[in-house]
Chain A
């Protein structure tokens, strides 16, 4: 499994290099696949509502109404029909890329399983919406889909009489089953929307809108495609005539030709078995979760910054339980906590400057306390051999350990945003290093979702706790690169070293802090 993930990751990394260069990391389609899925869903929904105004739901009139939509009103409804179709296809593309990418980045395991397993039924719903949509056109392709689908369903032992009898020949054709399809094509997307909402429930500030340039670019692409190659019907359905050759939408119908080769029951087994296997992936192999964040009430003043910054909605503010003057206290939901440490980075009490009392933040990761981080910082400083001395704080996924070969001292944490800004001030003001580099995941693609955003905002002074103004920004470098970008990371580091060398020497203080 790990090997497979590595291969897929490698392929994505190659593609990301191209996309990141062209679009920029934040606007890259690969970093916004989930948001693009939402976006295409809304395009499909909006165009579908418009098309429904002109669609006749009777089986005998459906084809003619679609012809009217396509040809008589080509400039509006016709374009809408094409965009409706192509956006549905695009939804399938981004959905599968999203699944593959999250799998390769291992963003499905541990307490993160919820989004993954709620995503699996979504795949079925996407297909249900798409296939029923093709059915409604009632052209030759719809005829094929109607026959093949009902024959496939008849392999299930649920139906007294074959439902394929509804489409036996022109004399048996009835509108009831067709009406059911119309009903499903309207209500399946509504239920799908509910599942999409559920899918992101454990993500605070879930990104459901792609960046504006990307939204505009994809919309224009679909519009141009619709104008250049409009979606058209394939002749009216005639149940007495065999639909021999068909233009096929492989995004939605790829499973159908398999029915020519294997019995329908086996296809059910493959698809249902595959879905169950997919649902179990977060636990294959089992992964030990890190201990959840712990609130130290003696140091928690109920400021709510941790709850505000938690990317997984794992922290809530509850009425104070210790009788102190504060109104609220942070409470961690262990089953949601990803142990990323972003809450620790947000805690104003997580400061290494304290001398009188032990360094205990209001919220901490039990196995990586602020006190330990301070010790690791001081120890790393003592190990510097050459100048300029650069201390690199990095995350588990950014692969910045390679910078150790270039003379840097590297301190690894779950996420860069676990580092309270006060540590940067501490490191530079106590002359523990000449420069500090924060090396994280790609912009907008943090393993823990929001680490890069919060770090940048804290450094820029836009988000509490912010980096003090006295910190020389020239001595701080933020490096956001995707996994597997060791060469680019080294290059950025070398450039940072060069820029530090040009700066006047820092005021030397006590290296013992």
Chain B
């Protein structure tokens, strides 16, 4: 009788183990985002201008350089931060100053943001300043975009492909 009770308890404990494994493997469900909202991803990587403008070297200056270091233009490595702004329907949604990457601050400045937005049509305005200017913008873009619930829209920026695009 005692042996049967022990075996029965073992079955119960094994069942409890399987239940614990199975339950937390699926439940409770995780609500990552509201299905009633649209989502926007902003991603751009862009090198801002150098802190000081590049200097064109004279032939004599070029000749003075070591043969493997010769170049026609001399640029400081450090770059400016990239200023990025995004408005939705005229209201500020993002204001970001992205620092250049790299140990010498000579790399790309990157912006990656994700936020929710109510579905429907919205006016999206984006701006970038990548030079040393203190006012005004180097790239400006505006578009009326329709956002659908439960779907992503992606805002990217590639100057070589015409600047901003919203997909």
Contact = CB atoms under 8 A, between A and B. Distances in A.
Contacts of B41: 168-169
Contacts of A239: 152
Interface in B119-149: none
B167 A171 contact: yes
Given A22-B10, A89-B21, A251-B24, A245 B112 contact: no
Contacts of B18: 86, 221-222, 224-225
A240 B151 contact: yes
Given A85-B25, A244-B32, A164 B9 contact: no
Contacts of B61: none
Interface in A8-57: 18-19, 21-23, 29
A256 B33 CA distance: 13
Interface in B1-49: 6, 9-10, 13-15, 17-18, 20-22, 24-35, 37-39, 41, 43, 45
Contact of B108 (A93, A161, A245, A257): A161
B113 to A, nearest CB: 10
Report the contact-size class of chain B (Cβ under 8 Å from the partner): 35 or more
B154 A249 contact: no
Interface in A251-283: 251, 253, 256-257, 260
B78 interface: no
A41 B9 CA distance: 26
B154 A169 contact: yes
Interface in B78-130: 101-102, 107-108, 110, 112, 114
B150 interface: yes
B35 A245 contact: yes
Main SS class of interface, A: helix
A245 B27 CA distance: 11
Contacts, number: 132
B30 A246 contact: yes
Contacts of B29: 245-248
A251 B112 contact: no
Contact of A257 (B30, B39, B45): B30
Given A93-B20, A168-B156, A220-B14, A242 B150 contact: yes
Nearest to A15: B13
A151 B102 contact: no
Given A22-B10, A245-B35, A86 B151 contact: no
A246 B24 contact: no
Contact of B32 (A22, A144, A221, A225): A144
Contacts of B45: 160-162, 165
A19 B30 contact: no
A162 B41 CA distance: 12
Nearest to B102: A160
Given A160-B102, A245-B35, 6 more contacts: A22-B6, A22-B9, A86-B25, A90-B21, A164-B43, A242-B151
Closest 8 CB pairs of A and B: A248-B30, A162-B112, A22-B9, A244-B35, A225-B18, A221-B18, A161-B45, A247-B26
